[in-house]
């Protein structure tokens, strides 16, 4: 089977010939290419060529089914210094702004800048943000998606990124984790009105675009955690949204995934009740408290896990013996291999030993044939 065929088989609940091995190599590649430190073997290769040389599938995360255009809003960008970019949004209701801050070290590794200021800072900002939301147009790009799917070919299957649910988008991108819960307490009416608007816009515009699109696998939701979206919050603000969306997607033969690069130990059942079909880039111990065994026990075959290898395991401070022991335990845990895609959470980082990525390819070839047997 090709990696595309393996992924489609797993989505359909059918066994693949072997476990797919599809890690994200983008950060490792970008950092070393920018620094001129790619191994000699790979100096003149593209990322896709390196993936093939290492025996990997491609994650195929760059497909899109729509683009957005902003109307009636003037956007001004200005650099405050080499490391800080302020963006201002002017509307008839006033102005809101964001600030992104970089560092020389992270930029050397081609890692994006950090958002340190958010649009929602005071009560008056809510009307401005709602105006921006209401004046954002969504334009289908189905032909571009189909072209991307053809480009990926047999190396993988596109997972289309849709963004976040309304509550977590408010938490993470509009207000910021540091202030969002203060706003929820201080401006409850404004927050609830904003969430209702975001939800209705998704129902009326985004969900129909998803349902009518040629894409089949959607990544919608990211970074949920036991700490910032604990069970009571998740149950109230997140679960109902995804239960409704997942039901619609399942009626259309489509699948819903979340980006699980966080500590989800206390919300595993919440994620299952949401109707998710897959958790990709699933972070596990020792990066976070959640173990792969706990997730398998909680989800069984209900949710496809895409992950299993914490990125730290590929770093030099883990010995070869520790690395091999972890991989032995991983294959015992996932046996017989149902609903599982082997990947790295969240990325193969610049400091990784690329030889270990190749070693995992060898292990998959030796032990990954379905059904996996425990010695």
| Six-digit token string for 29 | 């590649």
Q: Is the pLDDT of residue 375 over 80?
A: no
Domain of residue 163, CATH code: 3.20.20.210
Task: Give the DSSP per-residue string, 272-308.
Answer: HHTT-SEEEEE--TTSSS--HHHHHHHHTTSSEEEEE
Which pLDDT does position 111 carry in this prediction? Answer: 87
Domain match, 51 and 93 both: no
Which residue range forms the structural domain that includes residue 113? Answer: 72-122
139 and 90 within one domain: no
Length of the chain: 375
Q: What is the reported pLDDT for 374?
A: 84
Residue 203 pLDDT: 98
Q: Please tell me whether residues 59 and 78 are part of one structural domain.
A: no
User: For the chain, where are the alpha helices, taking DSSP H only?
Assistant: 3-11, 26-35, 47-53, 104-108, 125-134, 142-152, 166-169, 177-186, 188-201, 207-212, 231-233, 239-251, 268-273, 292-299, 320-334, 354-367
Say how far apart CA 291 and CA 293 lie, in whole Å.
5
pLDDT (tens digit, 9 = 90+) per residue, 150-178?
999 999 999 999 999 999 999 999 999 99
pLDDT at 335: 97
Q: Is residue 358 part of a domain?
A: yes
pLDDT at 148 over 80: yes
**pLDDT of 220 strictly over 90:** yes
Say whether both 271 and 155 belong to one domain.
yes
Confidence band of 255 (pLDDT split at 50, 70, 90): very high
Question: Where a domain ends, among 122, 146, 162?
Answer: 122
pLDDT tens by residue, 54-70: 999 999 999 999 999 99
Report the 10 Å Cβ neighbour count for 301. 10
Q: Is residue 288 a contact partner of residue 263, using CB atoms and an 8 Å limit?
A: yes
113 is a domain residue: yes
Q: Please report which confidence band the pLDDT of residue 109 belongs to, taking 50, 70 and 90 as the band edges.
A: confident
């Amino acid at each position: 089977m090709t990696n595309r065929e393996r992924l489609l088989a797993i989505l359909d609940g059918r066994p693949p010939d072997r476990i797919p091995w599809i890690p994200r190599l983008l950060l490792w590649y970008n950092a070393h290419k920018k620094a001129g430190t790619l191994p000699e073997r790979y100096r003149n290769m593209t990322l896709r060529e390196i993936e093939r040389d290492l025996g990997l599938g491609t994650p195929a995360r760059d497909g899109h089914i729509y683009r957005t255009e902003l109307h009636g809003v003037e956007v001004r960008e200005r650099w405050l210094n080499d490391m800080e970019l302020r963006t201002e949004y002017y509307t008839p209701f006033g102005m809101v702004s964001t600030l992104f801050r970089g560092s020389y070290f992270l930029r050397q590794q081609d890692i994006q800048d950090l958002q340190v200021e958010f649009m929602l800072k005071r009560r008056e900002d809510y009307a401005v943000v709602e105006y921006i939301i209401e004046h954002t147009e969504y334009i289908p790009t189905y032909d571009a998606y189909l072209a991307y799917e053809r480009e990926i070919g047999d190396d993988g299957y596109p997972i289309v990124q849709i963004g976040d649910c309304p509550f977590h988008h408010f938490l993470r991108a509009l207000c910021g984790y540091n202030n969002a819960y203060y706003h929820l307490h201080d401006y409850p009416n404004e927050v609830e009105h904003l969430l209702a608007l975001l939800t209705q816009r998704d129902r009326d515009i985004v969900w129909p675009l998803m349902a009518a699109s040629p894409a089949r696998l959607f990544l919608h939701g990211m970074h949920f955690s036991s700490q910032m979206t604990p069970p009571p919050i998740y149950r109230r603000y997140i679960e109902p949204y995804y239960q409704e969306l997942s039901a619609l997607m399942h009626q259309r033969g489509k699948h819903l995934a979340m980006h699980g690069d966080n500590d989800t130990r206390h919300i595993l059942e919440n994620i299952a009740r949401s109707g998710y079909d897959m958790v990709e880039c699933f972070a596990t111990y020792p990066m976070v408290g959640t173990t792969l065994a706990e997730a398998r026990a909680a989800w069984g075959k209900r949710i496809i896990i895409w992950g299993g290898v914490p990125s730290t395991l590929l770093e030099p401070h883990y010995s070869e013996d520790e690395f091999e022991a972890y991989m032995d335990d991983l294959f015992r845990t996932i046996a017989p291999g149902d609903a599982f895609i082997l990947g790295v959470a969240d990325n193969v980082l610049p400091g990784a030993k690329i030889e270990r990525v190749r070693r995992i390819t060898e292990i998959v070839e030796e032990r990954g044939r379905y059904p996996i047997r425990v010695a």
